[in-house]
Structure 1
Amino acid sequence: MLKSKMKWKFPKEQNDLSNLNSNKFSPLIKELLLQRGITSDEEAEEFLSPDLNNLHSVNLLADIEKATERVHKAISANEKILVYGDYDADGVSSTAIMIKALQELGANCDYYIPNRFTEGYGPNEEAFRAAHAHGCQLIITVDTGIASTHEAAVAKQLGMDLIITDHHEPQEQLPDAFAIIHPKCSPDYTFKELAGAGVAFKFAQSLLGYFPKQYLDYLVIGTIADLVPLIDENRILAFYGLKALSVSDKPGLVAIKKVCGISGDVNEEAIGFSIGPRLNAVGRLQDADLAVQLLLTDDQDEADKIADQVQSINQKRQKIVSDIVKEAEEMVASRDGQGVIIAAKEGWNQGVLGIVASNLVRKYDRPAIVLSILPEEGIAKGSARSIPAFDLFSGCMEIRDVFTQFGGHAQAAGMTLPLDNLEQLKTELNDIIHQQLRNEDFTQEVEVTKTIAMPEINEALVEEVGQLAPFGMANPKPVFHIKEIPNDARKIGANKNHLKMQFKEQNKTMDGIGFGFGDLYDHLSPKTEVSIVGELNINEWNGFRKVQMVMQDMKIDEKQLFDHRGAKQFDLTHYVSTNGDHAAVTQTLSSNNTYFDNVHPVAYDTDIRHLKNVHNLFLYDLPQDLKTLQSLIQQLNPLNIHVCFHLNDSVFMKPFPSREDFKWLYALLAKRQQIDINKEAAMITEAKAWTHDKLIFMANVFFDLDFVKIENGVIQLSNNPAKKDLTESEVYQERLNRAEIEKTLYYSTYDELKSWLLECMNDRHTLEEELVYGL
């Protein structure tokens, strides 16, 4: 058996499909739509066929007309306009949209992105004062500003008008700005989940007086990279934005696609895993201006050079993250009893600590806080990420006094606190987590869409599922579950850290790819059904197309047999987990046996009642009889059995004398009265083509039955021996028994041995039933 790493959540069965027209939608599409809360034909049509005409009117956004009029007035008066953005992919995309729109209108404009390290997030007073000193009369924020009450007051004091466009959560007190364009501050605007780029795009549309489809390629980057729900307007904008990005000839976008290795159609994964992280990397390590320059440049040579710089920065970012993750993992020596993981060190780059925290959450299934220590200031500053079961924001707000600065939401947060408060943070947050959560909450979850059989899987199915794209928040890519026996499995990758399995049924094949699943290879036993969950896609290579499943998790429900028979060296490391007991069985206990702490060495005759929940039973030595092993298996009831037998001297492979052989030897003794084995063994074995072992065995059987006496190698016939059958000899029976043990446990085929062991398990269940129902 192999336990899954995540909790698999299957959907409730949808019994009523009557509201969806069966002639228009396949049963699978109807099921997927119903899981998304879409219950009518009209809703289904809108979802499956996104239409720009279904976008909400920009005029429903509060203050947008007022803000539009103010910008046009500034342009007419040639006032200096500053676009103030953020340093992430959404922020730089928003900045590019707004600058391009203003330039199209002939505005005197520039942009400003704060430095993450020296200025922090959002507008700041110093930047506003600098803008005023340079003659700026109007500031437009994009993807930021909704919490900047102080900065808004500074702008007003300086005589600058401030227009805030943002999508983050409004605070109790809104800034006193000239205008605030924000879906959540607009009662008449029914869709509240636009990204920062989406809000900037809407404002650009109002400014230009038409739908600016030429900026959809910028818009889709911010929308997908910022992980906003891809429903309603976001779905429509992302759908058409991906089409626009696929054919975009903007030099910066051409260049960034090139360094990402993206050609042809661009999908949401290309943004989420390639374009977005590269644009984010710039602001994580330095000023984000370079990312804006890339998006805005009209020169292809310049764009290519900047894209190469961005690529280099991203590679540096990856190395920094990898190094910090490694250091942080070394600090997490044990997670036993820990509700939260806290790692802190001087010199860690603050810009990547959120990524590091995410890595720790995925590995340890615990909320993680990663901090950079600034000893000269006496503070620690960093980021936190959480698990679905724990609201990090609410939990930290209960101990708000621990922090000097704190902000975020349920799953992510940023914080600053005095170094002296680190231990208090760990203690108090641990207490809160343990009060709220159970052990099973410290496990990742995967939402499984549907269980399907191999014959159902083909390219048409994958293309059908693709009708629901683009996938993202609130519209996740379907995760399917299959349970099949792989006909092939192997480790792949330069470091052999990935797993590839092939499934085949009714002339249909499918590959299962598990990135980072290489360690599970050793947990696959022959002809065993495995359950995997993952996303289906089509792998195309050299013009050959094949359906594959990218695995998210795997488990095996049945008990397994692992056959290591004959191996001189066997490494337990691959199989011994940190939870549960394991047992290694030898004939006799020896102080020379070295095992892991939770691997218990036991002999066949020792008391094993203390062992519970045995995950793996390692059988090193053959038992004296099969019933002893049967009893041991029934008592331990292990999840998996590893047979590690190694024979140096096999009884089964030695020839067993026939009754005629015994008769001939006895007749020789009767004729000669005695035989000197030391002198005559070679002559006898050569004459009969026997082995020396065979001759000695027959002599010992005769001795055991009192047929002969043996002294100093001389066999002498006994006087008037009692008549006995050969089978009455213990020596004879022991050899038969040993041969049967070897035949059953060592020389049997894998299938034969597995069948015998499973029968032992079944006998245990039968015994349990008899005990229970007999009482």
Structure 2
Amino acid sequence: MLHSKANWKTLTIESDAKLINDIPFKLSPVVEKLLLQRGIRSSREAEKFLFPSLDDVHPPEKIQWMDKAATRVREAIEQNEKILVYGDYDADGVTSTAVLIKALEELGANCSYYIPNRFTEGYGPNEEAFRQAYANGFTVIITVDNGITAVHEANVAKALGVDLIITDHHEAQNELPDAYAIIHPALSENYPFKELAGVGVAFKFAQYLLGFFPKHLLGFVAIGTIADLVSLTDENRVLSYYGLKELTISNTPGISALKQICKIEGNVTEEDVGFKMGPRLNAVGRLQDAGLAVELLLTEFQEEAQELAEEIDQLNQERQRIVEVIRKEAEKMVDPSKFGVMIVYKENWNEGVLGIVASRLVKQFDRPAIVLNFNPETNELKGSARSIPAFDLFTNCMKVRHLFSKFGGHAQAAGMTIPLENVEKIQEALDGYMKEQLTEEDCKEEIIISGEVEIAEINEGLIDEINRLAPYGMGNPKPVFKIEHIPAEGRQIGSKKNHLKLQFREDGKLLDGIGFGFGNLYYAISPNTPLQVVGELGINEWNGNRKPQIMIQDMRIEEWQLFDYRGRKNVDFSFLANEEVIAVSENPLEYSFIPTISYEAKDQELQKVPHLILCTLPARLNDLIQLIQKIQPVNIYACFQLNDSAYLKTFPTREDFVWLYALFHKRKTIDMKREIQSIMKVKSWSKEHIVFMLRVFSELEFVRMDNGVVHVNPTPEKKDLEAADVYQERLRQLEIEQQLYYSNYEEFKNWFTPYINYLETEKSKEEMINGL
């Protein structure tokens, strides 16, 4: 048995669900099921999803206050007023800034941008920045990707006579700012899609200002939308789909340099944005002034773009180093046994990377994490939080909003400032909410499985068809499939042997499975055992060859396992270091973490453990049976060694016994010290063969042994040879060796199976509980 690291949840659809009307294009059953799982029922919906069209983008004028805001900006342009675009320091914020600046410049606006410093100013508008903008002659300020919680700053702007236009997508709180206009899809009743990223909202405003659809700005939209992890459905899907195409063909200096530094060639994918481009743009604002990222996106000079891209790449490498240092420090502060929200803090932690550190802690410990930097001058903590899917961080933190100096974010991510004296109160409150709402099992990572596929079904054509559902992201996750099969081959790969490569075969079809970071599980998979793996299907291209593969995310084995190490010496059990394990052995094992017992161990010495190592053969099969049923292992490792095998010795036949007894009866007395060699030579018997028969005769009192001299009992009681204990002992030893040592693997496992019935009982209990 091998437990999965995550909870597996398989998506289901109604039994009668099907795509209505005729689909004008061919769909495999697998892709049809994927569409149904996404709520797509009609041929029109399927066509819109598989073939996104810019015609399906919603009109920007449906967003409330769009016309009022645009009228004020056009008036400012006509009167040559100075317009300030007030952005944010993440990838969504800098692309939002770039989109609006590009649009304003095309309109001839007198404009500039401002990105607050994460470390000295924090997120969103601040009074000092607004006052400085006023002093510098700006009469219109447009926020992008921020501002919806800036109640005080909006009042400051109004008092100064500056018209504040807020464009944002973050969740609004109890009070809205008193701004000139607020452009926010979620606050616009008539706008059909509420989940645009900040850059999507900025793009809508740019489109309305320009009076045409600015397709040339879609590359920025794709970067910000994908990097900000908003739902890639509806309008976001269309914008990202065409935005990725725009990034692929773009030859603007900034995008070209960014692709080059990310080593992106050919078609740009959502993974390129999410794992290469986005993190590099984010890295700038995490370590210094994010204006560097905006400059890269806006520059019109290739040489400058190249220099900026290289500088950004170096910052990203530094960011990675800092994250690892803080992660290790934070990890030591976490109590893995505690059920609740992890809150860790320390002085001089870089606030710009604390969200990343929080994400790493969540993944490692399956708990929500709040990671904060302590400022002794203000006696405040500032940082970021990340949560697990089952715990709505925003909703639960809002219950104690009064304990935060500042707070904002989403269900799964948030930023905050906390007075030091309130940390324990927040900890206590959030821990209480978690205990009310969740169990330990709820906290485990969850893998959503689209369905099970057979290996024979998987080919390049199917994978290409599945990829028509891209771009993948929130709301449209990349499909994860389950495969259950016995691996034909398996091996550890990588310089540190920390990755796993499996190969499955069925009906002449081959499928490779790659599990990065799963190398340690190589020893947890026994032969001839069905293995369940879940992961994403893809194509592996190498030296011009293309082969289907599954990128393994998790695996499990639902039946008990037998690992056959019989006759092998120095078996490596280091992979069990963090497991509950016990060994039956005459001598201590070299691994100090593995306790040893004997078959005669008392009940109080025995406990249920999942892993049982058998080094010593039992004297009786029943001894082993009883031990198994008391310990109830799910994995058994047989490491038996035989130095003196009864099975390999010839068992005397009845004729052998008759011949030897006849000799004794005829001679009456025989000195075996002198005669044994002659008997061995005449009968071609071994010495052990003769000694064994002598022990049987002696026990049955057919003969008496006296210092090597055999004396025949003249009046022996009639007894069967099998009545002798030594005879029975040899038979038992033969049976034990035959069953437990010399049997083949299938016979060996079949012997154990009837005695593992406790697993069926546990499974029945679990099914009953789940059923109820």
For the criterion TM > 0.5, the same-fold answer is yes
- The match for 1:164 is 166
Mapped partners of 1:22, 1:276: distance in 2: 40
- The match for 2:258 is 256
1:480 Cα deviation from its structure 2 partner: 1.3
**Residues 1:595 and 1:403: Cα distance change in structure 2 (over 3 Å):** farther
Task: Give the counterpart letter for 1:621 in structure 2.
Answer: T
1:208 Cα deviation from its structure 2 partner: 2.0
Q: How does 1:55-74 map to 2 (within 5 A)?
A: 55-74=57-76
1:750 and 2:745 correspond: yes
Q: How does 1:276-355 map to 2 (within 5 A)?
A: 276-332=278-334, 334-355=335-356
Mapped partners of 1:458, 1:764: distance in 2: 37
SS in 1 for 2:323: helix
Contact 1:14–1:31, Cα closer than 8 Å, also in 2: no
- The match for 1:237 is 239
SS in 2 for 1:168: coil
Mapped partners of 2:58, 2:625: distance in 1: 72
**Residues 1:247 and 1:734: Cα distance change in structure 2 (over 3 Å):** same
* Residue number among 620, 625, 648 corresponding to 1:625 in the alignment: 620
Deviates more, 1:104-113 or 1:551-560: 104-113
1:259-290 deviation line (CA, Å, top 9, x unaligned): 22221111111111221111111111111112
- The match for 2:544 is 543
SS in 2 for 1:652: coil
SS in 2 for 1:533: strand
Mapped partners of 2:286, 2:400: distance in 1: 28
Q: How does 1:266-665 map to 2 (within 5 A)?
A: 266-332=268-334, 334-575=335-576, 582-586=581-585, 602-608=597-603, 614-665=609-660
1:198 Cα deviation from its structure 2 partner: 0.9
Task: Give the counterpart letter for 1:372 in structure 2.
Answer: N
Contact 2:339–2:440, Cα closer than 8 Å, also in 1: no
Mapped partners of 2:148, 2:13: distance in 1: 43
- The match for 2:53 is 51
1:464 Cα deviation from its structure 2 partner: 1.7
- The match for 2:768 is none
1:661 Cα deviation from its structure 2 partner: 4.3
Q: Where does the alignment leave 5 or more consecutive residues of structure 1 unmatched?
A: 770-775
Mapped partners of 1:698, 1:759: distance in 2: 36
1:182 and 2:184 correspond: yes
SS in 2 for 1:430: helix
Mapped partners of 1:467, 1:742: distance in 2: 58
Mapped partners of 2:427, 2:96: distance in 1: 38
- The match for 2:7 is 7
Mapped partners of 1:406, 1:522: distance in 2: 47
**Residues 1:11 and 1:120: Cα distance change in structure 2 (over 3 Å):** same
Task: Give the counterpart letter for 2:8 in structure 1.
Answer: W
Task: Give the counterpart letter for 1:113 in structure 2.
Answer: I
1:54 Cα deviation from its structure 2 partner: 1.7
SS in 2 for 1:327: helix
Contact 2:388–2:445, Cα closer than 8 Å, also in 1: yes
1:759 Cα deviation from its structure 2 partner: 3.2
* Residue number among 731, 736, 740 corresponding to 1:736 in the alignment: 731
Deviates more, 1:341-350 or 1:420-429: 420-429
SS in 2 for 1:20: coil
Contact 2:2–2:558, Cα closer than 8 Å, also in 1: yes
Deviates more, 1:713-722 or 1:645-654: 713-722
Identity %: 55
TM-score (norm: length of structure 1): 0.92
SS in 1 for 2:610: strand
Contact 2:98–2:294, Cα closer than 8 Å, also in 1: yes
Calculate the aligned-residue CA RMSD, in Å.
2.8
**Residues 1:329 and 1:567: Cα distance change in structure 2 (over 3 Å):** farther
Task: Give the counterpart letter for 1:336 in structure 2.
Answer: S
- The match for 1:75 is 77
Mapped partners of 2:459, 2:650: distance in 1: 56
1:601 Cα deviation from its structure 2 partner: 5.0
Task: Give the counterpart letter for 1:452 in structure 2.
Answer: V
Task: Give the counterpart letter for 2:734 in structure 1.
Answer: A
Mapped partners of 1:763, 1:175: distance in 2: 64
Task: Give the counterpart letter for 1:523 in structure 2.
Answer: A
* Residue number among 688, 702, 720 corresponding to 1:693 in the alignment: 688
* Residue number among 218, 221, 242 corresponding to 1:219 in the alignment: 221
Task: Give the counterpart letter for 1:706 in structure 2.
Answer: E
Contact 2:22–2:43, Cα closer than 8 Å, also in 1: no
SS in 2 for 1:75: helix
Mapped partners of 1:594, 1:745: distance in 2: 24
1:739 Cα deviation from its structure 2 partner: 2.0
Q: How does 1:10-21 map to 2 (within 5 A)?
A: 10-17=10-17, 19-21=19-21
Q: Where does the alignment leave 5 or more consecutive residues of structure 2 unmatched?
A: 765-772
SS in 2 for 1:237: helix
**Residues 1:630 and 1:378: Cα distance change in structure 2 (over 3 Å):** same
Contact 1:98–1:200, Cα closer than 8 Å, also in 2: yes
**Residues 1:627 and 1:260: Cα distance change in structure 2 (over 3 Å):** same
SS in 2 for 1:317: helix
* Residue number among 127, 152, 158 corresponding to 1:125 in the alignment: 127
- The match for 1:89 is 91
1:670 Cα deviation from its structure 2 partner: 4.9
1:45-89 deviation line (CA, Å, top 9, x unaligned): 222221111211122222323333333333333333222111111
Contact 1:98–1:204, Cα closer than 8 Å, also in 2: yes
Mapped partners of 2:343, 2:223: distance in 1: 32
**Residues 1:479 and 1:303: Cα distance change in structure 2 (over 3 Å):** same
1:145-176 deviation line (CA, Å, top 9, x unaligned): 12222222222333333222211123333323
Task: Give the counterpart letter for 2:530 in structure 1.
Answer: E
Task: Give the counterpart letter for 2:55 in structure 1.
Answer: N
**Residues 1:318 and 1:691: Cα distance change in structure 2 (over 3 Å):** farther
**Residues 1:653 and 1:342: Cα distance change in structure 2 (over 3 Å):** farther
Deviates more, 1:462-471 or 1:569-578: 569-578
Mapped partners of 1:595, 1:155: distance in 2: 69
Mapped partners of 1:196, 1:174: distance in 2: 17
